[in-house]
């Protein structure tokens, strides 16, 4: 039986995101997919006749492109008629660069990719998520890992290193998740989750243009130690659809998150950065 549910997967053209799209493709739903490299017709998931999958090119490091993609989704006929039942945000990686770099929009690159793009897309699509009872938002990055956090320097303009920024962006997504969950508390409100998928056996290190000294050993390590993206995709879909998670919005984040005091300050600064890019 066909479903009128509409889902959106950001980062859905490769790796885990592509597996999530494949897992949703037999549900009879509509799926909007954004990603840097569009798949060939031969590599797109086979779906039921009632399933609609729409791909659109998207560089998630660009906040303007991220917002434009969200607008593309929300102005579609399917979302206009049915709202948005679920949003999955899988784009993100560990940046091995030794020096700090910024996007063309002036945002530190890892911050833009791993955290601010997620917040920008969620903010834009929230009205459509609110129209569907018990809609779900699943961010995939580093849920629950925690670590040192510098609330006064979220772009790490001082003392940058790639490990600190990777940890920091994970904490930021935890913060976004908890804050959004605190603003949406009724049983029918959108639910928010941030999960850590663990080490996965995907081509993402190569697709992310990571250095050869990183990608070469991973060719041998990932098939042995990495989790199957199809297995993790099943877990993502469970978060999207299972009754078990209905009352657990804001889950999977670090238990020590409440010790991050400048909560409102960080939330405001992140939204201000997004707004500055929109206005530029």
pLDDT in the model for residue 232: 86
Q: Is residue 148 part of a domain?
A: yes
Segment 132-141 shows an average pLDDT of 95
Please check the confidence at residue 207 and state whether its pLDDT lies above 60.
no
Q: Is residue 218 part of a domain?
A: no
Q: Is residue 220 part of a domain?
A: no
CA distance 143 to 147: 11
User: Quick one: CA torsion of 193, 244, 232, 76, rounded to 10 degrees?
Assistant: -60
Segment 142-177, tens digit of pLDDT: 887 777 788 888 898 888 887 888 888 888 998 999
Look at the block and give the residue holding tokens 């793009």: 117
Segment 94-105 shows an average pLDDT of 78
* Phi, psi at 12, each rounded to 5°: -95, 15
Q: Which two tokens stand for residue 167?
A: 């940890």
Q: Which of 34, 24, 33, 17 is nearest to 3 (CA)?
A: 24
C-beta atoms surrounding 266 within 10 Å: 20
pLDDT in the model for residue 1: 42
Our count of domains for the chain comes to 1
This prediction has a pTM of 0.86
Q: Is residue 107 part of a domain?
A: yes
Q: Is residue 264 part of a domain?
A: yes
In terms of residue numbers, what domain contains 188? 6-200+227-279
Segment 22-27 shows an average pLDDT of 85
CATH of the domain at 266: 3.40.50.720
Q: Is residue 215 part of a domain?
A: no
Q: Is residue 221 part of a domain?
A: no
Segment 33-79, tens digit of pLDDT: 999 888 766 455 555 556 789 999 999 999 999 999 999 999 999 99
Q: Is residue 118 part of a domain?
A: yes
């Amino acid at each position: 039986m066909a479903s009128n549910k509409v889902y959106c997967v950001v980062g859905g053209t490769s790796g885990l995101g592509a597996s999530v799209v494949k897992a949703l493709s037999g549900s009879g739903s509509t799926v909007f997919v954004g990603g840097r490299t569009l798949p060939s017709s031969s590599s797109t998931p086979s779906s039921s006749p009632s399933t609609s999958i729409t791909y659109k090119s998207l560089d998630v490091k660009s906040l303007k492109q991220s917002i434009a993609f969200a607008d593309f989704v929300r102005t579609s006929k399917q979302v206009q008629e049915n709202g948005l039942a679920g949003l999955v945000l899988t784009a993100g990686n560990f940046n091995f660069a030794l020096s700090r770099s910024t996007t063309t929009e002036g945002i530190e690159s890892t911050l833009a990719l791993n955290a601010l793009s997620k917040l920008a897309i969620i903010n834009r699509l929230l009205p459509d998520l609110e129209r569907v009872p018990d809609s779900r938002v699943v961010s995939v990055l580093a849920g629950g890992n925690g670590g040192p956090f510098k609330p006064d320097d979220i772009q790490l303009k001082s003392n940058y290193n790639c490990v600190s920024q990777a940890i920091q962006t994970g904490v930021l997504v935890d913060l976004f998740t908890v804050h959004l969950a605190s603003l949406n508390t009724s049983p029918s409100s959108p639910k928010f989750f941030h999960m850590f998928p663990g080490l996965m056996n995907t081509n993402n290190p190569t697709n992310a243009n990571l250095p050869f000294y990183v990608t070469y050993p991973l060719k041998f390590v990932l098939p042995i130690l990495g989790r199957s993206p199809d297995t993790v995709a099943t877990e993502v879909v469970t978060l999207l659809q299972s009754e078990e998670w209905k009352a657990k919005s804001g889950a999977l984040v670090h238990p020590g998150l409440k010790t991050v005091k400048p909560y409102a300050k960080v939330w405001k600064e992140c939204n201000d950065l997004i707004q500055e890019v929109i206005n530029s």
